[in-house]
Amino acid sequence: MIIKKLIIKNFRSYYGEKVFEFQKGLNLILGANGDGKTTFFDALDFVFSIDDVERRSFSYSACVSKKMFSELAPGATGKVMVSVDVLNSDNRPRTIEREMEVRKKEDGTMSIVSSSHLGYLPLINGGRKTVMVKDLLYGEGLFPPIIKKYSLFKGEKALNIFEDKTTLKNLINLFSDIKDLGPYKDFAKFGEDTSSRAVTNAQRKDKQAGEAAAQLLREKELLESYLAQENSRLADLRTTYSDNQARIDAIEADLETIELVHGMQDAIKDLQDEVDILRDKLDENYSTNLLDRLWILNGFQPVLEEFAEKMSDFSEKKQTLINIEKERAIREKAEREAEAKTIAELKAKLTELPWYIPDVKTMQSMLEKERCLVCGTEAPKGSSAYAHIAKHLEEALEHINKTHKQEHKEEIVEELFKLRNVESLHQMSIQLYQYGINLNDISAEIEKEKSRNDGLHLEIQDKNQTIDEKQTEMARVLSQSASGHDIGELAGSWLNIKHWYKTREDASIEIERITSKRIPELKKKIAENTEKYKKAVVDITAKEFLKINTFYKLLGDALERAESRTLEEFMDKLATTANRFLEMLNIDDFTGEIDISRDFRDNSINVHLVGSDGKNIDNPNTSLFTTMHLSVLFAISELTKDNLNSEYPMILDAPTSSFDEGKDKTFYQVMNEKLDKQCIIVTKSYLYKDESDKFAVDEKGIQKLLSVKHIPVYRIQKRTGFDKKDQSTIETIVTPLF
């Protein structure tokens, strides 16, 4: 298929009718960002897609030109259309049109009045015949979706088609006969199994020999069950491998950034932990420390001295009083002793009283009985005898009392101070003064604590500043990531990511062990067993069945080898063709080549650039990498041409966006010179910013390009004077150049 003409009408920013005409070879559409490059690409996708088949649907209202719709009067209708004229593989003209009619409702909203997607064949009379788009795209093989998948590429990254693991299967189905071998393989397997059973049944007839064969058969079945287990395990491991590979592929481009951010996150966390520890060390409870650490006693020394002095005074006074009292007591004691002497003498006298002088008790009895017991005469109350006795009794009692009082003088001295508060408080003052808190140290302790806290604050401040710096640096790194991944979150899941690598690696090692060792070993044992079995089979019928069985086995093996060889041949052919394109497009004069190999771990295709030393070139520059992918795509396109007898255009949106300045032009120069297939490229190459900061066409560059061969070049750009906030003012204008 060759695209001859494209009409875009009122499709998004393509207001009114815009026409592009194309030819075989290179076709360029030049536009800067926002000029409508992607819309051009989407318009082609729109007209070549069959929604229900491709299980997608365009948003119709989003396809309508806002400018066109804004100009509609309420109730009026407008038409949106994309039409493409092509030549099919037989060079017959075909047209596909996808259009819709929209109405502006009274409330200003949009309704879809009608839509159609139709194909047309020209008639001799100048008219045209309507056909189903499906019949053209599939039936006639104009542009089947599977071809479109490898023909339309939006952005540079999409060029690496082998990131999609279904690609190999798709390509094999498209271009090789391998898929046709499937029924034959099934048939061979069926024949082998059936004949094997027939051999066994026949063999059973000869019991003796049958037993040996049956034993061998049981061993074979066992070995085959092991093989089946290994194959099943291999399939699981391949799934594990490819699942983890897909995860890794999705983030691999960001891996260095993720690791860097992970390191930063770790460092920040460590610093935050350190800050937490420092904060824990802070003791800024200055108010409660007045009490808890008795800092409140900072001014207490003079008070304590006052207390001590006062207690000392009290103590001294008390002691003085006690001493005075003691002296008095001593003095009194001396007097008492003198007195005691007199009393003793008196007592002595008393004891020396004549026998008729009675003792106190006798005299008290005499007064009671009113009779003198000495002389025996009556002594009634009021008589002189009674008075005489009473006088004697009083004198005796007075002496006795006096003696008693003197004996207790010492106790009175002790009772002068009943309590000992002065002593105990004096002792308290001494103790606080001598053994209490060192009040003179408090001031220094407070200052030390303040300075310790200040030091901690400085340390915390330093660490927080480092945290801020690291966070800023991390934000900068994150902002530079253009992949769309949440790098911060991925970095937080660093352990998971490492686990993906580990699981992939483990699976890879196990796959290698199973494919290179375990399965071949089992196959060898099965083969040996089969040989023994053949010899054990003695029955004639069984021997015949065995020959049939051997035939089917050989057939199966042959088909398998054929499949494998076909696949290898396909990859060889793909690589050879791709390398031819690489050599042609190579603008770096690079001597390496594209290596296309099958990854036994997940049955996918690996595409690498290999240096002359046979080693992979892991980090080719972007332009080379893109050229490599383009070469593979051109190779696929070439294979399509060979296999399906039809060729298809390559339509690429911004494939060279990451090329260094100038390299893209060389690239297009080469393409124009050497490419023999239709390639429509939308690019901002050949545009530069002029003095007024507006994009202008590099006319010299274009002239140089066209000097090789004249090709269609279109300039698309936004009409100036639009309102940035109003989409209905945006319009893409299309200008054919030269």
Give me the residues that bind another protein (CB under 8 A), please. 284-304, 306-307, 310-311, 314, 317-318, 321, 416-425, 427-429, 431-432, 435-437, 446, 450
Contact 97, 118 (CB under 8 A): yes
Least separation in angstroms between CB 489 and another protein: 36
Kindly tell me which of 300 and 688 has the beta carbon lying closer to another protein. 300
Three-state secondary structure of 111-171: EEEEEEEEEEEECCCCCEEEEEHHHHHHHCCCCCHHHHHCCEEECCHHHCHHHCCCHHHHH
Residue among 185, 197, 184, 183 nearest 548 (CA): 197
Kindly tell me which of 299 and 520 has the beta carbon lying closer to another protein. 299
* Region at 16 (left for phi over 0; alpha for psi -120 to 50; beta for the rest): left
Kindly tell me which of 277 and 303 has the beta carbon lying closer to another protein. 303
Contact 603, 511 (CB under 8 A): no
Kindly tell me which of 292 and 560 has the beta carbon lying closer to another protein. 292
Least separation in angstroms between CB 300 and another protein: 6
Kindly tell me which of 293 and 485 has the beta carbon lying closer to another protein. 293
**Pairing, β 679-683 against β 650-653:** parallel
Please state, in angstroms and as integers, the Cα–Cα distance from residue 482 to each residue in 153, 363, 478, 680, following that order. 19, 135, 9, 27
Kindly tell me which of 433 and 494 has the beta carbon lying closer to another protein. 433
CA 350 distance to own-chain centroid: 121
Kindly tell me which of 308 and 350 has the beta carbon lying closer to another protein. 308
How far apart CA 464 and CA 403 sit, in angstroms, is: 94
Least separation in angstroms between CB 303 and another protein: 5
Kindly tell me which of 179 and 450 has the beta carbon lying closer to another protein. 450
Residue among 443, 447, 428 nearest 296 (CA): 443
Least separation in angstroms between CB 398 and another protein: 32
Name the 3-class secondary structure at 647: coil
Kindly tell me which of 96 and 439 has the beta carbon lying closer to another protein. 439
Sign of CA dihedral 255, 261, 265, 271: positive
Least separation in angstroms between CB 443 and another protein: 8
How far apart CA 293 and CA 62 sit, in angstroms, is: 75
Least separation in angstroms between CB 463 and another protein: 21
Least separation in angstroms between CB 428 and another protein: 5
Q: How many CB atoms lie within 10 A of CB 191?
A: 17
Kindly tell me which of 427 and 643 has the beta carbon lying closer to another protein. 427
Residue among 545, 541, 527, 536 nearest 195 (CA): 545
Two structure tokens written together for 727 = 């989409």
Least separation in angstroms between CB 385 and another protein: 51
* Region at 710 (left for phi over 0; alpha for psi -120 to 50; beta for the rest): beta
Kindly tell me which of 321 and 397 has the beta carbon lying closer to another protein. 321
DSSP state, 56? Answer: -
Least separation in angstroms between CB 367 and another protein: 42
Least separation in angstroms between CB 421 and another protein: 4
How far apart CA 379 and CA 376 sit, in angstroms, is: 9
Least separation in angstroms between CB 271 and another protein: 25
Q: In what order do the strands lie in the sheet with 26-30?
A: 152-154, 650-653, 679-683, 26-30, 713-718, 732-737
How far apart CA 482 and CA 261 sit, in angstroms, is: 15
